């Protein structure tokens, strides 16, 4: 598939020579720093040396004072408190944080995760009815609720108070809850707007500790769960999130809680846990509980403080994740076969597939897989409880939510954001929806948006990759949205003659440039074995790559992980 290479440093602010000299940085590193908006020595110090003191005062968040007062009232009156949250990683980690913290102050507290299939996303009528039947008078809702106006009114009619802790974009009318914590509210002056749902939960317990003059360091013990949510929910790793992620990873690597240690099998691995480990290793396991069985299973594990119990629960969740992988693979294969048999697939600007037997829990994952093959806005639909439900995923620059919204006359329900959404509709509307969605996408998407982009931070020469360069580069971590792992372009490279195809069509090389032939680096290009002929013929190649530091027999080695390559111009 053709890809467009975009060198981002062309759009960076002009290199701050003074800052570059103060920090003794090379031009490529200075370019990367500029791309991340770091333009002063103080900003650079905060970026490279995160401190807990950089966290904002939680009482700067609108509604926090009222929320803490209501919790204090509930604790002093021994009211029953229900901690409610979504069934994904962000929701279950948020619930685990708030439930674990406040259960130290009361026995009258429970957690509640809605059933993905019976109750759906967000605050449910079933949860409110459960609260009424069991005499809960306060519900703390995490990672959801900012648009649950009708549900909050329903709870109010039953004298059940709500504290909403959400990070999604509010609607025009804020729910009539006792307190609403969401920095994205128009009149909220909280300095950082991109906290995860678990991040809002963390600010809640931090505020309680501060108000009651408790040791705030005890709140920091939950940063391992906060960083897990940051990674899995793909929120920007900038500002306060970067501080939370930095110390959360530090905690996981030094003193992991039983659940994380068990899920990652940490006693048997010595590799450092990074954001990538959480995104690809931990997040899918936690998510699997809500996708295949019930999200409460994830909370049960995450709140466990017993190693043996955690191992037992982790084994069950890992088995569920294995089942999820099988469903994912089977559904993806079936969907790809359907598209290959459709003569119109290549002519369409969107991809929509439907089967009534696919598992609802994996359709979002499958939509992402299909984009890897056909780079188009994609929706995967299945049937569940006499309704057709689905998940949408988009290409980088196209607003799929807006396109779905324009089909709202055919939908029962929809929600989400620019790049991911969910929808529900009647079976008899499926064909009409597919036709209308394709028409709307075709009228609004550009040809350029249908070509995947390879974003390159900056260009460099291989001789610039020194020990000092790599040492400073490592300090750009933790990586994630708006602070991705730096990607480099190096032009006119050659293989020393050791290049070969290994494994399943992977290319293993040793690269150099003629300007500095003695500077050589091992390189790996996954699924790029077809390019071996160019290197064997000594064709100069341009490569886009990330730098990876590996360790073997106690020695550190640098390897280039090639993202894309083409013949030099």
Averaged pLDDT score across all residues of the chain:
93
Residue 17 has pLDDT above 80, yes or no: no
pTM for the model: 0.91
pLDDT in tens, 141-191: 999 999 999 999 999 999 999 999 999 889 899 999 999 999 999 999 999
pLDDT at site 171: 87
Average pLDDT over residues 306-331: 92
Sign of the Cα torsion 153, 159, 160, 165 reads positive
pLDDT for residue 416:
75
**Mean pLDDT value of segment 278-303:** 88
CA distances from 385 to 52, 308, 346, 382 (A): 48, 38, 32, 10
Take residue 333 and report the two structure tokens written for it: 């294969």
Average pLDDT over residues 240-258: 96
Each residue of 419-466: pLDDT tens digit?
Answer: 888 899 999 999 999 999 999 999 999 999 999 999 999 999 999 999
For tokens 């991340």, the residue is 36
Using the predicted structure, report yes or no on whether residue 15 has a pLDDT greater than 70.
no
Decide if pLDDT at 204 tops 70: yes
- For the segment 298-324, the average pLDDT, to the nearest whole number, is 93
At 233, phi and psi to the nearest 5?
A: -90, 0
Question: How far is the first Cα of the chain from the last one, in angstroms, to the nearest whole number?
Answer: 19
For every residue of 95-151, which 3-state class applies, written as one string? HHHHHHHHCCCCCCEEEECCCCCCCCCCCCHHHHHHHHHCCEEEEEEECCCCCCHHH
- Note the pLDDT of residue 288: 85
- What would the mean pLDDT of 335-347 be, rounded to a whole number? 94
Phi, psi torsion values for 275, nearest 5 degrees: -60, -40
pLDDT at 165: 98
| pLDDT of the residue at 102 | 98
Find, among 174, 118, 110, the residue nearest to 146 by Cα.
Answer: 174
Which pLDDT does position 415 carry in this prediction? 79
Q: Can you tell me the mean pLDDT for 325-346?
A: 94
Model pLDDT, residue 346:
93
With a cut of 60, say whether residue 81 has pLDDT above it. yes
Among residues of the chain, what percentage have pLDDT more than 70? 98
Query: Has residue 12 got a pLDDT over 60?
Result: no
Position 21 scores a pLDDT of 85
Q: What is the pLDDT of residues 85-128, one digit of tens each?
A: 988 899 999 999 999 999 999 999 999 999 887 887 789 999 99
**In this predicted model, which residue has the larger pLDDT, 268 or 499?**
499
pLDDT band at 269 (very low <50, low <70, confident <90, very high): low
Domains in the chain and their CATH numbers?
A: 4-14+454-567 (2.40.50.460), 58-316 (3.90.1640.30), 342-450 (3.10.310.30)
pLDDT value at 553 more than 80: no
* Model pLDDT, residue 189: 96
CB distance 535 to 541 below 8 Å? yes
At 472, list the tokens. Answer: 């400073």
Give the tokens for residue 451: 């070509």
Please state, in angstroms and rounded to a whole number, the distance separating the CA atoms of residues 151 and 235.
27
Count of Cβ atoms closer than 10 Å to residue 63 Cβ:
20
Please write the tens of the pLDDT for every residue from 390-422. 999 999 889 999 999 999 999 998 877 788 888
The pLDDT, as a whole number, for residue 270 is 67
Express each pLDDT in 44-74 by its tens digit: 999 999 999 999 999 999 999 999 999 999 9
Phi-psi region of 312 (alpha: psi -120 to 50; beta: other; left: phi over 0): alpha
């Amino acid at each position: 598939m053709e890809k467009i290479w975009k060198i981002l440093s062309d759009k960076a602010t002009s290199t701050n020579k003074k800052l570059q000299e103060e920090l003794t940085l090379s031009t490529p590193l200075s370019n990367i720093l500029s791309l991340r908006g770091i333009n002063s020595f103080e900003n650079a110090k905060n970026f490279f040396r995160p401190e807990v003191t950089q966290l904002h005062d939680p009482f700067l968040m609108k509604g926090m004072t009222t929320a803490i007062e209501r919790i204090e009232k509930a604790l002093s009156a021994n009211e029953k408190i229900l901690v409610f949250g979504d069934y994904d990683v962000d929701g279950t980690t948020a619930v685990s944080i708030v439930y674990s913290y406040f259960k130290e102050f009361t026995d009258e507290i429970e957690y509640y995760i809605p059933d993905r299939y019976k109750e759906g996303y967000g605050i449910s009528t079933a949860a409110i009815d459960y609260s009424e039947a069991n005499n809960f008078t306060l519900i703390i809702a995490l990672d959801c609720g900012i648009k649950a106006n009708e549900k909050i009114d329903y709870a109010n009619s039953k004298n059940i108070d709500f504290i909403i802790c959400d990070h999604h974009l509010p609607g025009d009318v804020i729910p009539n809850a006792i307190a609403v914590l969401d920095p994205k509210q128009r009149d909220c002056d909280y300095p950082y707007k991109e906290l995860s749902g678990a991040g809002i939960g963390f600010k809640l317990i931090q505020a309680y500790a501060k108000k009651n003059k408790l040791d705030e360091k005890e709140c920091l013990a939950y940063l391992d769960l906060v960083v897990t949510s940051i990674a899995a929910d793909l929120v920007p790793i900038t500002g306060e999130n970067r501080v939370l992620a930095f110390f959360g990873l530090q905690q996981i690597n030094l003193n992991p809680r039983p659940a994380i240690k068990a899920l990652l099998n940490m006693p048997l691995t010595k590799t450092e846990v990074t954001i990538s480990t959480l995104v690809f290793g931990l997040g899918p396991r936690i998510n699997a509980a809500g996708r295949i069985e019930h999200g409460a299973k994830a909370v049960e594990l995450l709140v466990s403080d017993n190693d043996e119990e955690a191992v037992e629960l982790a084994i069950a969740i890992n088995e569920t994740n294995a089942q999820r992988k099988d469903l994912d693979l089977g559904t993806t294969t079936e969907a790809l076969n359907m598209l290959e048999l459709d003569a119109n697939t290549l002519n369409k600007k969107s991809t929509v597939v439907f089967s009534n037997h696919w598992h609802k829990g994996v359709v979002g994952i499958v939509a992402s897989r299909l984009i890897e093959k056909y780079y188009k806005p994609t929706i995967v639909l299945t049937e569940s409880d006499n309704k057709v439900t689905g998940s949408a995923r988009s290409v980088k620059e196209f607003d799929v939510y807006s396109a779905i919204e324009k089909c709202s006359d055919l939908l029962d329900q929809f929600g989400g954001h620019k790049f991911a959404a969910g929808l529900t509709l009647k079976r008899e509307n499926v064909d009409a929806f597919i036709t209308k969605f394709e028409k709307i996408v075709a009228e609004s998407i550009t040809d350029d948006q249908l070509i995947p982009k390879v974003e390159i931070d900056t260009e460099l020469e291989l001789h610039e990759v020194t020990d000092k360069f790599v040492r400073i580069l490592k300090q750009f971590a933790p990586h994630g949205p708006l602070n991705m792992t730096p990607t480099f372009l190096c032009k006119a490279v050659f293989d020393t003659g050791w290049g070969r195809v290994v494994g399943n069509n992977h290319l293993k090389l040793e690269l150099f440039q003629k300007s500095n032939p003695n500077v050589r680096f091992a390189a790996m290009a996954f699924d790029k074995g077809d390019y071996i002929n160019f290197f064997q013929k000594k064709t100069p190649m341009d490569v886009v790559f990330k730098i990876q530091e590996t360790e073997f027999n106690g020695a550190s080695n640098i390897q280039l992980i090639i993202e894309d390559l083409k013949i030099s111009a």
